[in-house]
Amino acid sequence: MYNKALAAKKFIESKYTGNPKTAIILGSGLTSIMDELSNKVEILYEDIPNFQISTVKGHVSKLIYGTLEGKEVLLMSGRFHYYEGYTMKEITFPIYVFKLLGITNLILTNSCGGINLEKVSPGSIMVINDFINLMPTNPLIGENDERFGERFPDMTEPYSLELRKIAKEKALKLNIDYVEGTYTGFMGPYYESKAEIRMIKAMGSDAVGMSTVPETIVSNYLGINTLAFATITNMATGIQKMKHSHENVVEMANKASVKLAIWIKEIVKDL
């Protein structure tokens, strides 16, 4: 893993001159922030050594270097999912590369289903403050490489209190409504059953999706400060009365991404 990540790092660094400290991973439909970047350099995933490509509609497989509010950033347009057939190590490989590139702040975004009707509804943006891993494994399984991190990483604060404080201050300044809550990572690729949603709700989850948790685990393992936003694009099975549609998810995410892009721009100013 270390040598593979090093090869990817060297290739990426050959494509731009700069020293970004913040990386942003975009979920389904959350692409409007790409339009906010200046001095862009686009790198196709397929050209980066050991990178995978995204096979999901709403994800474009490219890494973008640029400046956002005067700050250098790396932006992943398209992420990898366990349900695509990739291993957990392959899903989270970019996070290892980010570490070697000197990234210290990671902003994760996703589109997901809402569970807690007292908190969320379609169009809500949730600042994730904790997670539940319902995927059948996690990316740290296997031999540990001490060059990356300790064998047993702590998960007391998976989402940085300091970054969440900045996010809340910026939301107040911009008059952006948001909620905070727990996100559950589900394997997919099917939308959860009504019984599964009842179980996840009983466990204390406010929203459910098919990403974000693996990246969170690895970013904490690597010591990268992490902030995550969940865009509620639909209510979960048994809560909403209609059947699920990925097209509807992307459409709702596109609408919400405009507001989220404005919010993230303000946050990046203080990083």
**Those residues with Cβ within 8 angstroms of residue 271's Cβ, 6 or more apart along the chain or in another chain:** 21, 22, 71, 105, 163, 166
Structural domains counted in the chain = 1
Instruction: State residue 58's pLDDT score.
Output: 60
264 in any annotated domain: yes
149 in any annotated domain: no
pLDDT tens-digit map of 175-228: 999 999 999 999 999 999 999 999 999 999 999 999 999 999 999 999 999 999
CATH number at residue 159: 3.40.50.1580
50 in any annotated domain: yes
**pLDDT band, very low/low/confident/very high, at 103 (cuts 50, 70, 90):** very high
Average pLDDT across the chain, whole number: 93
Mean pLDDT over 225-253 rounds to: 83
Give the other-Cβ count within 10 Å of 3's Cβ. 8
The dihedral region occupied by 34, where left means phi > 0, alpha psi between -120 and 50, and beta the remainder, is alpha
**pLDDT band, very low/low/confident/very high, at 73 (cuts 50, 70, 90):** very high
252 in any annotated domain: yes
147 in any annotated domain: no
Which of the pair, 155 or 243, is modelled with greater confidence?
155
150 in any annotated domain: no
Q: Domain of 74?
A: 2-12+21-142+155-269
